[in-house]
Structure 1
Amino acid sequence: MNSALTWCLALAPFALAGSGFLAGAAKPFRRRAGTGAALTAAFALALAVATGVAIALHSPLATGTLGIDGVGLGFYVDTLSAIMFALVAFVGLIVTLYSRNYLDGDPAQGRFTKWLCLTLAAVLLLIVSGNLLQFGLAWIATSVGLNKLLLFYPERQAAVLAARKKFLASRVSDLCLVAAMALLHQAFGSLDYAVLFAGAEAMRITGVVPGAIHAVAVLLVIAALLKSAQFPLHGWLTEVMETPTPVSALLHAGVINAGGFLVLRFAGLISLSPVSLEVLVIVGGFTALFGSVVMLTQTSVKVSLAYSTIAQMGFMMLQCGLGAFAAALLHIVAHSLYKAHAFLSSGSVIDLARASWSPSPGGRPHPARMAMIVGLVLAVTLVVGTLFGATIIQQPGVFALGAVVMLGLAHLIIQAFDERPSLYVIGRTVALAVLVGLAYFGLQLAAEHLLAGSLPPVQALRGPLDLAIVAVVVLAFAAVTILQSLLPGKAAEPRWQALYMHLANGLYVNTLANRLVLRFWPSPPPVQTGRTASIMPTSGAHP
Structure 2
Amino acid sequence: MSGRTSNQTVGALPDTTVDSPSVPAVLTWLVWSLFAASVVVLAARVRLDGAWEVPGVAAIDGLTVLLWVVVTFFSGIVHSYSRRYLAGSAYQTGFFIGVFGFTLAVMGLVAADHVALFGFLWLAMGLVMAKLIGVVDGWPQAQAAGAVARRYFLASSALLGVALTALWWATGETTVSGIAAAADGLGGPVWLIAAAALVLAAMMQSALVPFHTWLLSSMTPPTPASALMHAGFVNAGGILLVRFAPVVTVDATLMLGVVVVGAVSALLGKLLKSVQSDIKSELGCSTVGQMGFMIMQAGLGFFGAAITHLILHGFYKAYYFLSSGGRVERTAPTGRDRHETTFADVAVVVVTGLAGGALFALLTGKGTSVDSGLLLALFVVLTTLHAARSVVERTALSATARYAAVPLAFLPALTVYALVYQAISGVLSGLPVVSAPAELSALHVVVAVGFLAVYVAMEAGLHERSHRLYVALLNASQPASSTVLTSTEEYNEH
Q: Do they superpose with TM above 0.5?
A: yes
Alignment partner, residue 289 of structure 1 = 267
SS in 2 for 1:383: helix
Mapped pair 1:88 → 2:71:
yes
Provide the rounded CA distance (Å) in 2 between the counterparts of 1:536 and 1:400. Answer: 43
Mapped pair 1:449 → 2:423:
no
Go from structure 1 to structure 2 and tell me whether the alpha carbon gap of 1:396 and 1:209 turns closer, same or farther (over 3 Å shift): farther
What displacement does 1:107 show? Answer: 2.2
Go from structure 1 to structure 2 and tell me whether the alpha carbon gap of 1:380 and 1:105 turns closer, same or farther (over 3 Å shift): same
- Range with greater deviation from structure 2 (125-134 or 55-64): 55-64
* C-alpha RMSD over aligned residues: 3.6
| Contact 1:288–1:310, Cα closer than 8 Å, also in 2 | yes
Alignment partner, residue 389 of structure 1 = 365
The one-letter code matched in structure 1 to 2:150 is F
Go from structure 1 to structure 2 and tell me whether the alpha carbon gap of 1:186 and 1:536 turns closer, same or farther (over 3 Å shift): same
| Contact 1:234–1:310, Cα closer than 8 Å, also in 2 | yes
SS in 1 for 2:54: strand
Provide the rounded CA distance (Å) in 1 between the counterparts of 2:405 and 2:270. Answer: 28
Provide the rounded CA distance (Å) in 1 between the counterparts of 2:177 and 2:468. Answer: 55
Provide the rounded CA distance (Å) in 1 between the counterparts of 2:264 and 2:146. Answer: 24
What displacement does 1:406 show? Answer: 5.3
5 Å matches for 1:112-511? Answer: 112-200=95-183, 202-203=184-185, 209-350=187-328, 367-387=342-362, 388-391=364-367, 393-405=371-383, 407-408=385-386, 409=388, 430=407, 433-454=410-431, 455-483=433-461, 495=465, 499-503=469-473, 505=474, 508-511=475-478
Bigger relative contact order, structure 1 or 2 (CA pairs below 8 A, ≥6 apart): 2
CA deviation profile, 1:352-384 (whole Å, cap 9, x unmatched): x99xxxx99999955545444444344334433
What displacement does 1:223 show? Answer: 0.9
| Contact 1:271–1:277, Cα closer than 8 Å, also in 2 | yes
The one-letter code matched in structure 2 to 1:220 is L
SS in 2 for 1:240: coil
5 Å matches for 1:49-68? Answer: 49-59=39-49, 61-65=51-55
Alignment partner, residue 3 of structure 2 = none
SS in 1 for 2:267: helix
- Range with greater deviation from structure 2 (305-314 or 185-194): 185-194
What displacement does 1:262 show? Answer: 0.8
Go from structure 1 to structure 2 and tell me whether the alpha carbon gap of 1:412 and 1:93 turns closer, same or farther (over 3 Å shift): closer
SS in 1 for 2:135: coil
Provide the rounded CA distance (Å) in 2 between the counterparts of 1:254 and 1:421. Answer: 38
Go from structure 1 to structure 2 and tell me whether the alpha carbon gap of 1:187 and 1:64 turns closer, same or farther (over 3 Å shift): farther
Provide the rounded CA distance (Å) in 2 between the counterparts of 1:116 and 1:362. Answer: 42
| Contact 2:212–2:288, Cα closer than 8 Å, also in 1 | yes
Larger radius of gyration: 1
| Contact 1:60–1:79, Cα closer than 8 Å, also in 2 | no
Query: Among residues 534, 538, 541, which one is paired with 2:489 in the alignment?
Result: 534
Provide the rounded CA distance (Å) in 1 between the counterparts of 2:149 and 2:444. Answer: 31
Provide the rounded CA distance (Å) in 2 between the counterparts of 1:181 and 1:96. Answer: 34
SS in 1 for 2:217: helix
Go from structure 1 to structure 2 and tell me whether the alpha carbon gap of 1:410 and 1:63 turns closer, same or farther (over 3 Å shift): closer
Alignment partner, residue 26 of structure 2 = 36
What displacement does 1:456 show? Answer: 2.7
Go from structure 1 to structure 2 and tell me whether the alpha carbon gap of 1:314 and 1:60 turns closer, same or farther (over 3 Å shift): farther
Provide the rounded CA distance (Å) in 1 between the counterparts of 2:405 and 2:100. Answer: 47
Provide the rounded CA distance (Å) in 2 between the counterparts of 1:268 and 1:332. Answer: 20
Count of residues in Structure 1 that have an aligned counterpart in Structure 2: 467
CA deviation profile, 1:221-280 (whole Å, cap 9, x unmatched): 111111111111201211212121121111111122112111111112221233432332
- Range with greater deviation from structure 2 (317-326 or 459-468): 459-468
Provide the rounded CA distance (Å) in 1 between the counterparts of 2:382 and 2:106. Answer: 30
Provide the rounded CA distance (Å) in 2 between the counterparts of 1:336 and 1:414. Answer: 21
CA deviation profile, 1:4-63 (whole Å, cap 9, x unmatched): xxxxxxxxxxxxxxxxxxxxxxxx986310011111111221221121122113346432
| Contact 1:393–1:461, Cα closer than 8 Å, also in 2 | yes
Provide the rounded CA distance (Å) in 2 between the counterparts of 1:364 and 1:227. Answer: 33
Provide the rounded CA distance (Å) in 2 between the counterparts of 1:167 and 1:142. Answer: 11
CA deviation profile, 1:183-225 (whole Å, cap 9, x unmatched): 222233222233223223x54xxxx745533432222111111
- Structure 2-normalised TM-score? 0.83
SS in 1 for 2:90: coil
What displacement does 1:479 show? Answer: 2.1
What displacement does 1:85 show? Answer: 1.2
SS in 1 for 2:325: helix
Provide the rounded CA distance (Å) in 2 between the counterparts of 1:533 and 1:294. Answer: 25
Provide the rounded CA distance (Å) in 2 between the counterparts of 1:45 and 1:88. Answer: 8
SS in 1 for 2:207: coil
- Structure 1-normalised TM-score? 0.76
Provide the rounded CA distance (Å) in 2 between the counterparts of 1:92 and 1:468. Answer: 41
Task: Show structure 1 runs of 5+ residues with no match.
Answer: 1-27, 488-494, 527-531
Provide the rounded CA distance (Å) in 2 between the counterparts of 1:326 and 1:404. Answer: 18
CA deviation profile, 1:280-320 (whole Å, cap 9, x unmatched): 21211101111112213322111111111111111111111
Go from structure 1 to structure 2 and tell me whether the alpha carbon gap of 1:384 and 1:471 turns closer, same or farther (over 3 Å shift): farther
| Contact 1:363–1:419, Cα closer than 8 Å, also in 2 | no
What displacement does 1:394 show? Answer: 4.1
| Contact 1:85–1:128, Cα closer than 8 Å, also in 2 | no
The one-letter code matched in structure 2 to 1:133 is A
SS in 2 for 1:534: helix
Alignment partner, residue 13 of structure 1 = none
| Contact 1:48–1:82, Cα closer than 8 Å, also in 2 | yes
Go from structure 1 to structure 2 and tell me whether the alpha carbon gap of 1:367 and 1:152 turns closer, same or farther (over 3 Å shift): same
CA deviation profile, 1:464-499 (whole Å, cap 9, x unmatched): 222222222233222222228x96xxxxxxx55665
